[in-house]
Structure 1
């Protein structure tokens, strides 16, 4: 007598449990190795020489402005919805609804893909506003490295985080070197890659431009776009964990109330922002999507 193989949902749960256990085991090993490394004299001397903060210009702005808090919230909101719709579109075989452009009837796509692209446009617009304000207010100096010492200091900060001996947090005044490099990578590397690959994969790309398509093939864009999405997800998870693990109240006040304080107001606004994101997730349903997509095209459901 043979037993029936476990169902697909059960297999997926087992794989997730195994993956989670391996991830926890890997994290424990990383912490133990990092703690051992910090006991070695050469490493201790390296940490003393490079405490984790790279030199910055003398006129670097101090504090987190209110506009950055709004940008932070809008970016998180749009990123969550973009990842959701992008991942869902990858698994669609026969979409329940399709969208057709009124201007070009040949331009047709699933409603999920259209939603993904519409959210992308809002995300890019939000990013343009962010860049304008970043350079107009001088806050670019906080995220753009201006000294090569940022590299060894970033390695030092990484080792300190890995050993759970957090580097001294002074985010209100300046980011540490690892934060600076991470934010620079998100803003000036990952975001542009997501945009240029997303445009190449979209229905708005000129399919009949043979020469351009040979230079920039569709397959290349797809190979880059998904890893970039995983990078954003990994960065977001790590960012949230570290914000909560390293003086959560002060960090949340800096991000959400533009104040260097340790009261509970920032945490309260943080909870409201999570509720807003959850509400937007819940609203991303056929009635609202159909109404929005019908303003610029026609939606057809099976």
Structure 2
């Protein structure tokens, strides 16, 4: 059966700047056997020789028949290397039909090779590999007329069939916040480890303090020194009220500061009446408003502190404060509390802690907060260059962490070293062991919790509108 050569439409090049693909366009000439048409590319056909002897003939006989057909072996275009820095693949593509097939035991003929290069299905390729290919017309393009002087065997494929592995179901992530058994176990073990470490610290400190030289040290420096003559005794009422206001404002300042730090997109904005373009978030306005109240309360506290002479109880007046503070710290670590007499005098460790909080941490918080607030003048170029905002940010947050640690340790020691007497000193203004100060302290906690809950837009917006304009973000 004679067929007319048909051209095969070529597609885009496989590499930038290359020839159209496929490089070789096959055409079917006079064929002795039936023509197998490709269902995907109708213009491409494979001629199958129906003679069974041709299939069962030895490879050498089929090679001679193929050479007698008068067709020259063609060298397909090589592709990219399979490994980095390697040779183009395949390195030596065979045109000899008797070479070993790409699939090992299946031998591919010269007609099967161009079929594979042109993207035939594996079924059509296998059918063609079981027959003797019919002669094909010589290629007409110059790129397709190259002839290999010595045919090379086909490279065996390293592709193997991999068994399908069933996907293992992954457990859903724990998003409800509940602890698993492993987390509970780790938490319990961590707690036990901390308790064991604390017990070892207490035991080592007690052993250290039992030495003769440390006994002499404790006798010389019991943990406190005598105050100057004329130092007042007791806790006045104004100091108790100042203490309550300071705690109330500090709790809300820490809450609002954390809100400002974690806020992504503010829902409400506040701007002063005389400058509508300068807007800040409602959270930042609330934080700064609390800061102003805290500063005013601190000014009143400092003035009354020096007027009444109470400053001598929290300002060191002797260098012996340092060894006495070391002595008090060691006694705390040994769980052998130093003598507490806060109605008259604080121990040296308390004195240093109060002094650092009032005269160091508070000014640092104010100076860094003002630099980051909207009250800082934008046109003060030299002042801003001398005091960069990055310095203020590097100081402000650590100072807040210090206040949190101080409050936690202060409350813990108040409860551990005589709760009723200590609360009476600060809240009831009396040096006695009764429940009066405790109930006043409990009422102050209710007020602080109410302020925490009330710090919401429904309460804050009407107050903010008294001092500026509130708009949606």
TM-score range, shorter chain: over 0.9
Go from structure 1 to structure 2 and tell me whether the alpha carbon gap of 1:207 and 1:296 turns closer, same or farther (over 3 Å shift): same
Does residue 56 (structure 1) correspond to residue 232 (structure 2)? The answer is no
Does residue 282 (structure 1) correspond to residue 450 (structure 2)? The answer is no
Does residue 90 (structure 1) correspond to residue 261 (structure 2)? The answer is yes
* Residue correspondence of structure 1 range 12-31 to structure 2 within 5 A: 27-31=198-202
Cross-structure match for 2:237: 66
Does residue 3 (structure 1) correspond to residue 3 (structure 2)? The answer is no
Residues of 1 paired with 2:189 and 2:446: CA distance?
31
The root-mean-square deviation of aligned C-alpha atoms, in Å, is 2.3
Cross-structure match for 1:202: 373
Residues 227-282 of structure 1 show CA distances to partners (whole Å, capped at 9, x for unaligned) of: 11011111111111111111111110110011001111011101001011011111
Give the conservation status (yes or no) of the 8 Å contact 1:142–1:174. yes
Find the residue that maps to 1:298 and give its secondary structure: strand
Residues of 1 paired with 2:174 and 2:291: CA distance?
39
Cross-structure match for 1:220: 391
Give the conservation status (yes or no) of the 8 Å contact 1:249–1:262. yes
Q: Which moved more, 1:119-128 or 1:198-207?
A: 198-207
Give the conservation status (yes or no) of the 8 Å contact 1:52–1:167. yes
Residues of 1 paired with 2:193 and 2:264: CA distance?
32
Residues of 2 paired with 1:228 and 1:249: CA distance?
30
Does residue 167 (structure 1) correspond to residue 338 (structure 2)? The answer is yes
Find the residue that maps to 2:469 and give its secondary structure: strand
Give the conservation status (yes or no) of the 8 Å contact 1:55–1:150. no
Match of 1:146 among 307, 312, 317: 317
Residues of 2 paired with 1:193 and 1:251: CA distance?
29
Residues of 1 paired with 2:287 and 2:187: CA distance?
26
Residues of 1 paired with 2:433 and 2:193: CA distance?
36
Residues of 1 paired with 2:467 and 2:184: CA distance?
41
- TM-score normalised by the chain length of structure 2: 0.61
* Structure with bigger RCO (C-alpha 8 Å, 6+ apart): 1
Find the residue that maps to 1:3 and give its secondary structure: coil
Q: Which moved more, 1:11-20 or 1:121-130?
A: 11-20
Go from structure 1 to structure 2 and tell me whether the alpha carbon gap of 1:18 and 1:138 turns closer, same or farther (over 3 Å shift): farther
Cross-structure match for 1:262: 433
Go from structure 1 to structure 2 and tell me whether the alpha carbon gap of 1:24 and 1:228 turns closer, same or farther (over 3 Å shift): farther
Go from structure 1 to structure 2 and tell me whether the alpha carbon gap of 1:13 and 1:274 turns closer, same or farther (over 3 Å shift): farther
Cross-structure match for 1:79: 250
Residues of 1 paired with 2:197 and 2:369: CA distance?
33
More helix by share: 1
Residues of 1 paired with 2:185 and 2:379: CA distance?
46
Cross-structure match for 2:289: 118
Cross-structure match for 1:134: 305
Q: Which moved more, 1:8-17 or 1:31-40?
A: 8-17
Q: Which structure is larger by alpha-carbon Rg, 1 or 2? A: 2
State the 1:33 CA deviation: 3.1
State the 1:22 CA deviation: 6.8
Match of 2:216 among 45, 61, 77: 45
Match of 2:419 among 225, 248, 257: 248
State the 1:64 CA deviation: 0.6
Go from structure 1 to structure 2 and tell me whether the alpha carbon gap of 1:287 and 1:14 turns closer, same or farther (over 3 Å shift): farther
State the 1:288 CA deviation: 1.1
Q: Which moved more, 1:143-152 or 1:98-107?
A: 98-107
State the 1:5 CA deviation: 3.8
State the 1:43 CA deviation: 2.0
Give the conservation status (yes or no) of the 8 Å contact 1:69–1:255. yes
Residues of 2 paired with 1:110 and 1:15: CA distance?
41
Cross-structure match for 1:179: 350
Residues 26-50 of structure 1 show CA distances to partners (whole Å, capped at 9, x for unaligned) of: 5444333322321222222211210
